Amino acid sequence: MSAPSAAFGASKAPAGRNRKKAPARLPAPPPHPALARIALVAAGLGLGITTALTFTAESASQLSAPGGLATFAGSLTGMTGTYLALIMVLLVSRIPVTERVAGQDGLVRLHRALAPWPICLLAAHALFLTVGYAQAARTGLWHEAGMLVNYPDVLIATAALGIMCFIGVISLRTVRRRLPRDTWWLIHLWMYLALALAVPHELVLGPSFVGHPLTRFVWSVIWAATAGFVLAYRIGLPVLRTARHQLRVVEVRSEGPGVVSVILAGQRLDRLPVSGGQFLYWRFLTPGRWWRAHPFSLSALPQPPYLRLTVKGVGKFSQSLAGLRPGTRVAVEGPYGAFTRYQQRRRRAVLVAAGIGVTALRSLLEDLPRGSAPVVLLRASRPEDLVLGAEVRELARQRRGTIHELVGPRDEAAIDEASLLRLVPDLDYRDVYVCGPEGFVADIVAVAGNLGVPDDAIHHEAFAL
């Protein structure tokens, strides 16, 4: 067996990734049209069924009674808000087929775009129901609110709504930027608790549930299915893969200023279903790290019994990885990411990376066939920031490719429309893969789009540093 460092030479190696100004909003990766249509139809059908059950639970006499319209509005907003909240959970449940269709970046963007709606609808649900009950009892709004919280299930649901609103506030971009990533992530997990707390009061007291066994059955199936997906793909599959591969740290090697490679040894790595450019969530099982999972790309394909991830120290966690000891056990979740060759539409490709984005590009380059003649553009501020440069150059040579290293200040080594056409004159015949910080990726995606590269031929992975 070769030594770990020798196993990761220029032609065969595994490595990793870490995740300013962006003149253009980064678009979501274009999903597979057929699968996207199926997903939209399924989500729309589910929403239609849940709202239809709410309508069928009401009679004309109930709607015309005092407070009837407000109570109905409360039921409708509650059902719709709960359904959208469950869709939000499913978007980030790491379901393999959705990851392959849209990529995790795309799913997270959809999750963020959808997030305000369920919170606002559930807040409206609480308000409308309180108004409706107050009108029916002919009491004041505040008096009725005080009466409702005397019911334990309603009090628990009120606490759940408070948790959701709190999470909504800390998820605002201006607030989230001020919080450490780990703090925000831990608080965000409370959303699962909030949804679990909200279930009992709907089943016991919800106007659409009381006396309506079909509605109760349908919603029970929806809740159970959502919980099943979360348990299976957020917990079950990672535990299974961790137990199967038995990963442990065998070496930590410096690659450049603030950049280290962590080399791991494990079992059955030939059964790890990973493609070049994908990433995994890594959980290093030490006292200060075991509870935090961070995403890092493989910068090369697995070379059994070894894996490698390469990390730039941009935060406390990534900086601490330089101090990992050999023998440290590692839990994994994934692989994830749609930044892979299986999405390629054209025969040839151009690969563009900045900074530590070279890690995903390096594994993707290794996954390209010999003779594929890729064009590789590497952007860095200083020569020493071109980490893994020797490996990338050798892989490009083996594939009869061309490599351009653009080193220097951004205004001197920028990639704009003119320079991209000069460096890649046959751009019309290539897929474009872009990896790096969000601002850089947004710039290159916009440049490629302005030059006529269709959306389905532009693939990107952005690291939020």
The DSSP bridge partners found for residue 352 are 377, 434
Position 68 pLDDT exceeds 70: yes
**Calpha distance 54→208 (Å, rounded):** 6
pLDDT for res 24: 47
- When pLDDT is cut at 50, 70 and 90, the band that residue 147 belongs to is confident
Mean pLDDT of the chain: 83
pLDDT for res 464: 58
pLDDT for res 197: 85
**Selected residue with higher pLDDT from 50 and 84:** 84
- When pLDDT is cut at 50, 70 and 90, the band that residue 123 belongs to is very high
Look at strands 375-380 and 402-407 and give their pairing: parallel
H-helix or E-strand spanning residue 307: strand 306-312
**Selected residue with higher pLDDT from 63 and 203:** 63
**Selected residue with higher pLDDT from 206 and 126:** 126
- When pLDDT is cut at 50, 70 and 90, the band that residue 120 belongs to is very high
pLDDT for res 447: 93
Say what percent of the chain tops pLDDT 70: 89
Position 250 pLDDT exceeds 60: yes
DSSP characters over 392-421: HHHHHHHTT-EEEEEES-TTTS---HHHHH
4-19+241-336 CATH, one of 2.40.30.10, 2.20.25.90, 3.40.50.720, 2.40.50.140: 2.40.30.10
Residue type, 1: M
Q: What mean pLDDT do residues 60-72 have? A: 82
DSSP characters over 57-121: T--HHHHHSTTHHHHHHHHHHHHHHHHHHHHHHHHTS--HHHHHHHHHHHHHHHHHHHTHHHHHH
**Calpha distance 270→2 (Å, rounded):** 17
Q: What mean pLDDT do residues 448-452 have? A: 92
Q: What mean pLDDT do residues 103-120 have? A: 84
Token pair 């120290």 is at which residue?
313
Look at strands 279-284 and 329-336 and give their pairing: antiparallel
Q: What mean pLDDT do residues 109-119 have? A: 88
Burial of 20 (C-beta count, 10 Å sphere; 0-12/13-18/19+): exposed
pLDDT for res 350: 94
pLDDT for res 313: 83
What region does 138 belong to: left with phi over 0, alpha with psi -120 to 50, or beta? left
Say what percent of the chain tops pLDDT 90: 31
Diameter over CA atoms, the chain: 82
Q: Residues, the chain, total?
A: 465
Q: How far apart are the first and last CA of the chain?
A: 37
pLDDT for res 10: 47
Q: What mean pLDDT do residues 356-382 have? A: 90
The DSSP bridge partners found for residue 433 are 351, 459
Position 91 pLDDT exceeds 60: yes
**Selected residue with higher pLDDT from 28 and 139:** 139
pLDDT for res 244: 95
**Calpha distance 229→235 (Å, rounded):** 9
pLDDT for res 36: 64
State pTM to two decimals: 0.77
**Calpha distance 49→46 (Å, rounded):** 5
pLDDT for res 98: 77
pLDDT for res 283: 94
Ranges of H-type helices in 206-338: 213-230, 237-245, 316-320
pLDDT one-digit tens code per residue, 389-429: 899 999 999 999 999 999 888 777 788 899 999 999 999 99
pLDDT for res 140: 77
**Selected residue with higher pLDDT from 348 and 108:** 348
Q: What mean pLDDT do residues 85-110 have? A: 81
425 Cβ contact list (under 8 Å, min separation 6): none
Q: What mean pLDDT do residues 367-381 have? A: 90
Position 19 pLDDT exceeds 50: no
Position 331 pLDDT exceeds 90: yes
Residue 118, both tokens: 């369920």
Token pair 């990639």 is at which residue?
415
| CATH level 2 (architecture), domain 341-463 | 3-Layer(aba) Sandwich (3.40)
Least confident of 8-22, 160-174, 198-212, 285-299: 8-22
- When pLDDT is cut at 50, 70 and 90, the band that residue 111 belongs to is confident
pLDDT for res 243: 95
Q: What mean pLDDT do residues 449-462 have? A: 88
pLDDT for res 204: 66
pLDDT for res 13: 38
Q: What mean pLDDT do residues 206-217 have? A: 73
Q: What mean pLDDT do residues 211-238 have? A: 86
**Calpha distance 230→192 (Å, rounded):** 10
Q: What mean pLDDT do residues 95-100 have? A: 76
**Calpha distance 96→232 (Å, rounded):** 11
Domain boundaries, the chain: 4-19+241-336, 58-211, 341-463
The DSSP bridge partners found for residue 308 are 263
- When pLDDT is cut at 50, 70 and 90, the band that residue 56 belongs to is confident
